[in-house]
Structure 1
Amino acid sequence: MEPIRRIPIVQQVEERIGELIAEQYKSGDKLPAEMQLCQTLGVGRGTVREAFRLLQAKGLVEIKPGRGAFVANQSGESGMAAIDWLVENERELRDSIEIRTALEPMAARCMAERCNAEDVQHLSEIHQRFLQAIRDGDPEQIARLDECFHNTIVECSGNALLVEINSNVCRGMQTFRSKTFQVEQNVRNAVMPHSNIMNAILARDSAQAEREMRAHLDKVAEDLAQNVKVPAHEVG
């Protein structure tokens, strides 16, 4: 007899949605809304969202800001396909970047003022892994560590409301990160800003940390503007 497996509820929901995709949906189809899945599966909204995150990490689901979850294209994706997605979602992405530009510079200031040695060490380790992922040419890992870097700064701000607001904004940025880091220039443009933010926080220079984060997000917005008008032959 095989032992009884105690499967976490999020994994059960992830598996059930995966089965639903395999049985009823094809690439590009919109999946049921979170609330509909909550009612169908008898679970909370947070569980469904986490299941979508796991499926997105596996490349099965694509989250489009303001539009919901879709079955991802399984045929593989070029830099130009990523550009196409950025063009399609430009308006929602600009809204998200605008909110981030209001929130994250304040978070960087607060972390520089309030962080302890353990916080700084954790952020530094994430940054070093981010740089290694760039050297390895791993866009998926680059995207994940970029999210970790920014989320750690917010979490170390000491502001619980800021953390809560950021969690909502972050959900709309996951697919954006996975797409934008398929464009080589965007990867290069993230290296120095992350280093500058790190150095300001290490120096406990709150004003400089705020300025560096704002400059970084201004560059993210600039990169998006460039990406959505770049000719196909210029995509790396």
Structure 2
Amino acid sequence: MTEPSGLRHGPVVPQLESLLRELLREKRWKAGERLPSEVRLAEELGVGRSSVREAIRLLARDGLVDVRHGSGTFVTDLSPVTEEEPDVRRLLRRARLLEAYEVRRALEVEAARLAAQRIRPEDVERLRARLRDRQERSCGEPSAFVDADLEFHRAIVELSGNDVLVGLFTLVRPVLREALIEMVAHETALPDVSCAHADVLEALARGDAEAAIAATVDNLESTMAFIRAEAADR
């Protein structure tokens, strides 16, 4: 096993994913061979097991390994391990993420309008707790941060009192989660939308539907503009 000397201070998962990709390029494990267990990889690389699991998930998403529950993780055909093909897949994922955001914008704007009309004082306190959780996780593991972020937004959609909107958010959430985790883990220039989240909460607390809509649009459009710009640069 290659020594983990290449791991530097900073987000662990992206570095760990890159290291494992490099080991696959070097044919450290052959096609069809089982990788060491998460526990063993974590011990040998000096990282947490959850970081190993997240890096493996990213490799599995790109078809480089096959995670067989109860059996282990196996190397698939190594031919996809090139510099070009992951870029193509990344572009496709960005296109899918942008489409998901377009749907998300439509439903969350209406959810914010309805939630502002129906929110109660006890709902505001629950939202504040979810927003604090999101902020506290902003510098932690990408998956934990994304989950906290989506929980905040789901709570607002639920406050709309519209089961159809809740159902739509539930459908689009898995697509958003996967793509957002990758984006948070790898992008260094993501827009900071913390203020927009706080603005949404304060508008809802005041029962100001127009302000809640404006803050929701500001939050989502900032990220959508980033996704569009990144796609245009490639």
Q: 1:208 to 1:137 in 2, by over 3 A?
A: same
State the distance in 2 between where 1:141 and 1:99 align.
Answer: 23
Task: Report 1 or 2 for greater relative contact order, CA contacts < 8 Å, sequence distance ≥ 6.
Answer: 1
Matching of residue 150 in structure 1 with residue 153 in structure 2: yes
Distance in 1, matches of 2:206 and 2:33, equals 52
| Paired residues of 1:83 and 1:179 also in contact (CA < 8 A) | no
Cα RMSD of the aligned pairs, angstroms, is 3.5
Alpha carbons of structure 1 residues 148 and 169: separation in structure 2 relative to 1, 3 Å: same
CA distance in 1, matches of 2:199, 2:134: 14
Residue 110 of structure 1, aligned match among 91, 114, 121: 114
Matched with 1:228 is: 231
Q: Give 5+ residue unaligned stretches, structure 1.
A: 1-23, 28-54, 75-81, 232-236
Matched, 1:95 2:99: yes
Q: 8 Å contact 1:123–1:149 — kept in the other structure?
A: yes
Would the alpha carbon gap of residues 139 and 206 (structure 1) be closer, same or farther in structure 2, given more than 3 Å must change? same
The alpha-carbon deviation at position 85 of structure 1 amounts to 5.7
Q: Which amino acid aligns with 1:227?
A: E
Q: Following TM superposition, by how much is the alpha carbon of 1:209 offset from its aligned partner in structure 2, in angstroms? A: 0.2
Larger Rg: 2
SS in structure 2 of the partner of residue 194 of structure 1: helix
Q: Deviations over 1:47-78 (max 9, x none)?
A: xxxxxxxx9xx53546x9xxxx666769xxxx
Local SS of the residue matching 2:192: helix
Identity of aligned residues (%): 21
For the 8 Å contact 2:117–2:209, the answer to whether it is kept is: yes
The 1-side partners of 2:214 and 2:169 are apart by 19
TM-score, normalisation: structure 1: 0.61
* AA matched with 1:116: R
Q: TM-score, normalised by structure 2?
A: 0.61
Give the total of aligned pairs.
169
Counterpart AA for 2:204 = I
Alpha-carbon distance between aligned partners in 2 of 1:171 and 1:122, rounded to the nearest angstrom: 23
Shift of residue 185 of structure 1?
Answer: 2.7
Determine the structure 2 residue equivalent to 1:201: 204
- Gaps of at least 5 residues in structure 2 are 1-31, 36-49, 66-72, 74-85
Q: Distance in 2 between matches of 1:169 and 1:190?
A: 20
Contact 1:129 1:145 in 2 (8 A): yes
Once the 2 structures are TM-superposed, how far is the Cα of residue 84 of structure 1 from its aligned partner? 7.3
Distance 1:206 1:140, change over 3 A: same
Q: Residues 202-231 of structure 1: CA distance to partner in whole angstroms, max 9, x if unpaired?
A: 111111101110121111111112333558
